[in-house]
Amino acid sequence: MDSIKSAYPNKDNGLQAVTEYLNTLGDAAKIPWLKDFKEKEVFLTRPCGVAEDAMDTISRIVKVVNSYWRPAQLETNIDINSFYNALFVGVEVTQEQSDFAFEQRKGYGTEMGAAITWTEENDGDTTRIGEVSAKYQALKESAL
């Protein structure tokens, strides 16, 4: 079949034949993944939608990926000190340095969250994400 954007006219009888074939497939012709791929929660909080009896290549691939997907299981009772002790063995840190680091981490999280929200509200423009990243990268250099 010719491309729809082609300079040549579409082969209407070919398009009609494909339409009729898809109509005979019933639910197997449904392609929920086509719209679902655009949803931000796909593979973040749930697998991608796919018709169980779909036979097309993409649906079969989505089914395979879905079979491996698992929800994130982040522990909420993590002892942060165990990481600190493993990473900074023998490093002496003052309370002032520790407080400074925690404040910067909190500020980064707040500012990056706002930048991500701004990006979503501005057609995916990541300018603010870059600005926050650069700000805290520069702060890291000065803190060291």
What does the alpha-carbon distance between residue 16 and residue 13 come to, in Å, rounded to a whole number? 5
pLDDT digits (tens, 9 = 90+) for 80-95: 777 777 777 788 888 9
More confident residue, 1 or 64: 64
Residue appearing with tokens 């423009």: 125
pLDDT digits (tens, 9 = 90+) for 47-56: 999 988 888 8
User: 113 phi and psi, to 5 degrees?
Assistant: -60, -45
For residue 116, which of 132, 96, 97 has the smallest C-alpha distance? 132
Tally of helices (H runs) and strands (E runs) in the chain: 6, 0
Task: Return the sign of the alpha-carbon dihedral for residues 143, 109, 71, 37.
Answer: negative
Asked if 28 and 55 touch (Cβ cutoff 8 Å), the reply is yes
Mean pLDDT across 112-122: 93
